[in-house]
Amino acid sequence: MARIAFLQDFWFELPGPMVLGGVLTAADHHVTAVITPGGRHMLAVVRKFKPDIAAFSVTTGAHRWAANAAALIKQEFPHIVTIAGGAHPTFYPDFARAPGLDCVCRGEGEGAILELARAVDSGEDWTAILNLAYVNHDGQLKINPLRPPVPDLDALPHPARCMYYRRYPFLRDNPTRMIITGRGCPYNCSFCFNHALGALYAPCGGYPVRRLSPQRCIDMINWACRDYRIKYARFDDDVFILDKKWLFEFLELYARRVAAPFSCLVRANLMTADIADALANAGCAWAHFGVETGNDHLRNQVLDKKISDEQIVNAAALLRARNIRIGTFNMLNLPGETLENGWETVRLNIRIRAQEPWCSLAQPYPGTRMEQRAREMGLLPEGFSADSIPVSYFRNSPISNPDRQALENLHKVFALAVKAPWLHAALARLVKRKPGPLLDAIFKITYGIRYARVYRNSLWRVWKTGRLNARQY
């Protein structure tokens, strides 16, 4: 049987590798997660585990680290097959040209990684495996067709959480467990790749929304509970409340058989009184939804969100009336955004009394409609590409609005501005200054406090996580 190591530099149990690890473990392959900054530490771990395959789950921005790590592994251990999957290689398959990578996987990877493991274990050729892309001996990029998406998620084994928790007690002892109950999203916001994913899978009939059955979800959660306690559940589906029939059935089972407090992601235009009641009765502590921006034109004409201020205010009122705390997702430095538009976003969060106002800086990923609009407006630098995206959306934004620096500064104090309106005069002066350590300190402190509150982590644990993931912030 093959040995597969999933490598990353971020201290977090990634859902993709856990799902693939479950598929591989069920087929008797050996898997482990390796969290490493790279360099000698990574090589020492790889030398000890002796993998046949080194795999990377890669997002845009993190792809540079993965390429460097793969090159180092390939230089030291040329027999190891290196593969990258995830969002970045799915939409930019030319990432297969990165030195050190043997291939990349596009789209859902369960079938591809299983066939690759079998081929490597038996010494067979793997170049015809569906979903893979690679560079042949002539230097040509070969992109194999996609297989259809997994039609029945219930048929998949449970995610292999043990690949993280056996190796990293710090992650095992986290009281919060992230849970994904489905795949796909029916919406087409301009900042997201969902529309591109549908086009990519068009030859296979599209990329449909699929959910685990309510019973299978409960079985998955309780299966994890056998070995690893769950004090708090974090449902990270894009829109947890999308299917009302599924939701009500699942929440009724969850309240009886799990009964742990939880958070989830909702959408303001879908929130109704009966949904809010069902969430509250099942133990929902936090509900997060996208405000994105307080400016209606930016939200609906630039981001294609198709959600009004009224719907946002109504959703917040429904949740607040049931003592469900409100978290919001916001972005600054959108194409054409001004500093005043940024303050509009602050004011809308104050109006709905958001208790956890999360904020990032807009990233126009190449191939999205946001990128197309920013390019048409002349707001992107010459030669802009995926390599122009920073490692973290908390650092900076490549969109060159006239107020970019002030908007990036406002991002650092966004949570404080929402929670402490009496500081607006002082913060308005601060965001017009050059960036400095004070702004960074405000951001890290407020982010840490908010994270601790929402996900039931101690401040010590948040501080340690921040230290381990310092390069991301």
Interval 79-101 mean pLDDT: 97
Residue 292 to residue 75: CA distance in whole angstroms? 44
In a domain, 148, yes or no: no
Q: Is the pLDDT of residue 466 over 80?
A: no
> What average pLDDT does this structure show over 442-464?
84
Kind plus residue range of the DSSP H or E element containing 178: strand 176-179
CATH code of the domain containing 67:
3.40.50.2300
For residues 218 and 130, membership in a common domain is answered with no
- Judge if 116 and 209 occupy the same domain: no
Instruction: Confirm whether 154 is domain-assigned.
Output: no
Residue 460 has pLDDT above 90, yes or no: no
Of 270, 207, 215, nearest to 243 (Cα)? Answer: 270
Pair 294, 391 in one domain: yes
CATH number reported for the structural domain that contains residue 450 in this entry: 3.20.20.70
Contact partners, residue 7, CB within 8 Å, separation at least 6: 33, 34, 35, 36, 42, 54, 55, 56, 66, 69
Q: What is the 3-state secondary structure (H, E, C) of 6-65?
A: EEECCCCCCHHHHHHHHHHHHCCCEEEEEECCCHHHHHHHHHHHCCCEEEEECCCCCHHH
Interior/surface letters 425-437, b for 16+ CB within 10 angstroms, e for the rest = eebeebbeeeeee
Residue 149 lies in a domain: no
Backbone angles phi, psi at 459, to 5 degrees: -65, -30
Are both 130 and 178 inside the same structural domain?
Answer: no
Q: What is the mean pLDDT of residues 434-438?
A: 93
Mean predicted lDDT score pLDDT of the chain: 95
* Residue finishing a domain among 143, 163, 194: 143
Establish if 150 belongs to a structural domain: no
Examine the domain organization and report whether 127 and 201 are in the same domain.
no
Clarify whether residues 23 and 73 are in a common domain: yes
Identify the helix (H) or strand (E) that includes residue 239.
none
Listed residues 101, 124, 143: the one ending a domain: 143
Strand arrangement, sheet containing 141-143: 30-35, 3-8, 53-57, 81-85, 103-105, 132-135, 141-143
Q: Is residue 162 part of a domain?
A: no
Residues 114 and 255 in one domain: no
Confidence of residue 34 (pLDDT cuts 50, 70, 90): very high
Residue 187 lies in a domain: yes
Cα dihedral 425/430/433/439 (nearest 10)? -160
Shared domain for 227 and 354, answered yes or no, is yes
Instruction: Note whether 411 and 264 are same-domain residues.
Output: yes
d(CA 140, CA 273): 56
Nearest residue to 285 (alpha-carbon basis) of 265, 268, 266, 263: 263
Q: Which among 294, 209, 215 has a CA at the least distance from the CA of 252?
A: 215
Reduced to 3 states, what is the DSSP secondary structure of residue 182? strand
133-159: per-residue pLDDT in tens? 999 999 999 999 999 999 999 999 999
Residues 91 and 206 in one domain: no
* Span 292-315, average pLDDT: 98
Domain containing 399 equals 174-472
Q: For residues 87 and 60, is the Cβ–Cβ distance under 8 A?
A: yes
Closest CA to 109 of 83, 79, 74: 83
Domain shared by 89 and 195, yes or no: no
Predicted pLDDT of residue 226: 80
Q: How high is the pLDDT of residue 342?
A: 98
Q: What is the residue whose two structure tokens read 């958070």?
A: 263
Asked whether residue 427 is assigned to any structural domain, the reply reads yes
Residue 169 lies in a domain: no
How remote is the C-alpha of 85 from its chain's centroid? 14
Read off the pTM: 0.95
pLDDT number for residue 462: 74
Whether residues 306 and 451 share a domain: the answer is yes
Query: Are the beta carbons of 349 and 382 closer than 8 angstroms?
Result: no
C-beta neighbour count of 438 within 10 angstroms: 12
* Boundary (domain end) residue, out of 143, 162, 196: 143
Q: What is the number of structural domains in the chain?
A: 2
Q: For residue 289, give the nearest of 372, 349, 201, 361 by alpha carbon.
A: 349
φ and ψ at residue 426, rounded to 5 degrees: -70, -40
Dist. CA 359–CA 288, nearest whole Å: 12
